[in-house]
């Protein structure tokens, strides 16, 4: 057997191994998504940070969302509705409305939550805004492996 034939056969074998590996990973991911749909716990998560990993040439390599995941959904405290100071009836209500609107801690998560950073595609990254609540799905005792509900096939 010549060296050219050995290289071709070796290349074909390596190509088949790569194909099998990627097919196995895709199958595992599909089964995990199926398990998330059936047995997953769906809860609300608040977006507390957005990040990008950028290459030296300025291209975005990966996008990350940092979420505050509330395992106990009864602990979610929604921020208060902001009041327009012009709608207040007396001076005390106007001053209270101004200070309520200045209070930035009202938009931060309150209660028992777990901070999780996940990789997301560009559509999810662009549609998520700071302090928005998104649906998050995870399996019991595997909260770090959870995904956004919209990312499950």
Per residue in 43-78, pLDDT (tens digit) is: 888 899 898 888 888 888 899 999 988 765 544 455
Reported pTM? 0.62
Q: Give every strand in the sheet of 114-120, ordered side by side.
A: 114-120, 60-69, 41-54, 133-139, 142-148
Q: Do 47 and 66 form a contact (C-beta atoms < 8 A)? A: yes
Tens of pLDDT, residue by residue over 93-127, are 777 777 666 655 545 555 677 888 988 888 888 88
Tens of pLDDT, residue by residue over 18-34, are 899 988 888 888 888 88
Q: What is the pLDDT of residue 136?
A: 87
Determine the Cα angle at 33 with ends 30 and 36, to 5°.
155
């Amino acid at each position: 057997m010549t060296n050219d034939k050995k290289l071709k056969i070796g290349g074909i074998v390596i190509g088949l191994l790569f194909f099998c590996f990627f097919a196995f990973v895709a199958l595992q991911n599909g089964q995990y998504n199926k398990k998330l749909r059936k047995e997953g716990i769906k809860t609300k998560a608040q977006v507390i940070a957005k990040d990008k990993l950028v290459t030296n040439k300025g291209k975005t390599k990966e996008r990350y969302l940092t979420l505050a995941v509330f395992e106990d959904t009864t602990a979610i405290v929604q921020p208060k509705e902001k009041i327009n100071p012009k709608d207040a009836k007396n001076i005390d209500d106007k001053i209270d409305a101004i200070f309520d609107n200045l209070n930035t801690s009202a938009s931060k998560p309150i209660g028992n939550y777990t901070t999780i950073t996940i990789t997301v595609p560009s559509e999810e990254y662009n549609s998520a805004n700071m302090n928005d609540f998104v649906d998050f799905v995870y399996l019991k005792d595997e909260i770090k492996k959870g995904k956004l509900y919209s990312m499950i096939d």
